Amino acid sequence: MQSSERNLVFLFIKIVMPIIIVLLMGSMYLFEQASSEKKDFMLEKVITLSKIISSMTIYEKEHPFGDASYIPQEATLQQIKIAFQNFKTIDKIKFEYLVAKKSAGMIDFIAFSSESKPKSVPLSSEQLAVPMKRALEGLSGVAIEYDYNKNKVFSAYTPIENSSWGLVIKQPYSLHIAPFKHVTYITLLSIFMVTIILFYILKFYEYKKNELLKISDERFKHLVENTKDWVWEVDKDGFYTYSNDQVEKILGYRAKEILGKTPMDLMEEHEKVKMGKMFFSLFKNHTSIINIENINLHKNGQRVVLLTSGTAFFSMNGKFMGYRGIDKDITDRKIKEEEITQLAYFDTLTGVANRRSISLKLEKEIRESIKNQTNSALIFLDLDGFKIINDSLGHDHGDIVLQIVAKRLKESIRICDEVGRVGGDEFVLLLHAQEKEYELYKKDLLHLIDRIIKSINEPLEIDGNISYVGASLGVAIIPKGGISAQEVMKNADSAMYKAKNRGKNCAIFYDSTI
């Protein structure tokens, strides 16, 4: 059913039907009131007319054969007929007047206002001349019954005093209800006209609403199709049912290629697992998706970072239908953020942590070591012989040496440990906490230091030139070697200088007692 039709039905049920019912009930009430007044009027009239007829009737004193009943003179019947004619002349309601008597099992009409005498009716008939039968039985009243012609009539009846006659005033039932029909027709016509008017008013507003919706839809379509973002819709199972054309610029797929896929179909395997769990939880609870970062694969295989937002939508009866949302391509922004992070926390030449980053991580390590009563260490390392290489072979050659050393240091330690560059040829190694007794931990560090020195001492072949460097190391064990980053760094640096003074290419542990 169309919207306009639904609205019309709603309008008819909610507005027009009550009006119809009220008008019809009002009409019926008015008709009943008028009918009641008419009944009273007719009953009063038939009784009055009965008294008039009774008073004007001339009876013979006695029948020659000794019959006890009274028989009117012919002149009396003629007077009654004249009276009927007079009543009919002044009667605007068009009644028919009848006087009848019983005769040999029949109802014999002896006076009447019609042009011809009605046919006699058997008293045994149950349906004919019912009002007259009641009058001849001595009853008075008003009724809707059938007359001598089997016509339904509205009548008043009463016996005539001092006689065995009955009097009936009647009119066809159709005339009786004619005023009600007239009112009903007018009422229905009025309702019809009101319905037509309301219908066209509704159609006008429907037209205006459709025009506004059309403008709104066009505006929305323009916004959706011209936005830089990917606008989409998925069903309750997560399959795309709509996509604007922007998806092709972001992921390389045409809009129709996306339909029938799920968001996880566009992700790498590990990302698919991670985001699948998250999206499942959101869908299950119909929770809004707010700025969720996820990595998708471009059609050419390139990684694209999207920022996803969306809300659940429902049918008119409250059934969950799916999600509608938007994806922003934040790949460039993420690259810039990573570049900023790289500049802020990593050495641009070697890629290892810079002094600021190491200091922050060192503070955290000190707190955890004190809290958990574990041992950590900071190794301060300075290259031996680097200045000669840098001065003789050039800074570019020296930069490559630093990069190779940084790589060898990362390979020498655990993945959880940190390498940092804090100066020209100065490096630090932050070794995370281990739950070992101090002397045992120190013994393990000696094995690590030996491995580091051997790694750095290996030949450096750069552009056909072979170079060698050594390393002087200062070691501060945390927390004995200090309880602040500045203190630990200073003590490890101090121990490193002692190693250089001892002959280089060796390690010295910081000892507060020395």
| Widest distance between CA atoms in the chain | 180
Position 384 scores a pLDDT of 94
Within a domain: 85: yes
8 and 147 share a domain?
yes
433 and 375 share a domain?
yes
Position 68 scores a pLDDT of 41
Rounded alpha-carbon distances, angstroms, from residue 412 to 291, 359, 448: 40, 21, 8
Residue ending a domain, among 178, 197, 216, is: 178
Q: Is 188 helix (H, G, I), strand (E, B) or coil?
A: helix
103 and 135 share a domain?
yes
Within a domain: 186: no
Within a domain: 143: yes
Residue ending a domain, among 178, 193, 209, is: 178
Position 17 scores a pLDDT of 67
Asked if 294 and 306 touch (Cβ cutoff 8 Å), the reply is: yes
149 and 281 share a domain?
no
The answer to whether the peptide bond before residue 131 is cis (omega within 30 degrees of 0) is: no
Per-residue pLDDT of the chain (514 residues; tens, 9 = 90+): 555 556 556 665 666 667 667 666 766 666 666 677 777 887 888 888 888 887 776 544 444 444 444 445 565 676 677 667 666 655 555 778 889 888 888 998 888 877 788 888 898 888 888 898 988 898 988 888 888 888 888 888 999 888 889 989 888 887 777 666 666 677 677 777 777 777 777 777 777 777 666 655 565 555 556 678 899 999 999 999 999 889 999 999 999 999 999 999 999 998 999 998 898 888 889 999 999 999 999 999 999 999 999 999 999 889 999 999 999 999 999 988 888 877 788 898 999 999 999 999 999 999 999 998 899 999 999 999 999 999 888 999 999 999 999 999 999 999 999 999 999 999 999 999 887 788 888 888 999 999 999 999 999 988 888 989 999 999 999 999 999 999 999 999 999 999 999 988 999 999 876 5
Give, for 478, the enclosing helix (H) or strand (E): strand 470-478
329 and 350 share a domain?
no
291 and 356 share a domain?
no
Within a domain: 340: no
421 and 303 share a domain?
no
pLDDT per residue over 71-118, tens digit each?
A: 455 656 766 776 676 666 555 557 788 898 888 889 988 888 777 888
pLDDT per residue over 166-180, tens digit each?
A: 989 888 887 777 666
18 and 64 share a domain?
yes
Q: What angle do CA 25, 31, 37 make, to 5 degrees?
A: 140
Within a domain: 222: no
355 and 496 share a domain?
yes
Contacts with 263 (C-beta within 8 Å, 6 or more apart), sequence order: 234, 238, 240, 275, 279, 294, 296, 308
Identify the CA nearest to 127 among candidates 101, 147, 141. 147
425 and 473 share a domain?
yes
Asked if 513 and 481 touch (Cβ cutoff 8 Å), the reply is: no
Within a domain: 352: yes
CATH of the domain at 51: 3.30.450.20
What is the SS3 string spanning 311-374?
Answer: EEEECCCCCEEEEEEEEEECHHHHHHHHHHHHHHHECCCCCCECHHHHHHHHHHHHHHHHHHCC
Structure tokens at 134: 């009641």
Position 241 scores a pLDDT of 93
296 and 364 share a domain?
no
CA distance 135 to 109: 13
CATH of the domain at 494: 3.30.70.270
Tell me which residue range forms the domain holding 491.
Answer: 346-509
Rounded to two decimals, the pTM is 0.47
Position 116 scores a pLDDT of 82
Structure tokens at 246: 């922007």
Residue ending a domain, among 335, 356, 388, is: 335
Position 463 scores a pLDDT of 86
436 Rama class: left (phi>0) / alpha (psi -120 to 50) / beta:
beta
> How many distinct structural domains can be found in the chain?
3
152 and 120 share a domain?
yes
Within a domain: 195: no
Within a domain: 35: yes
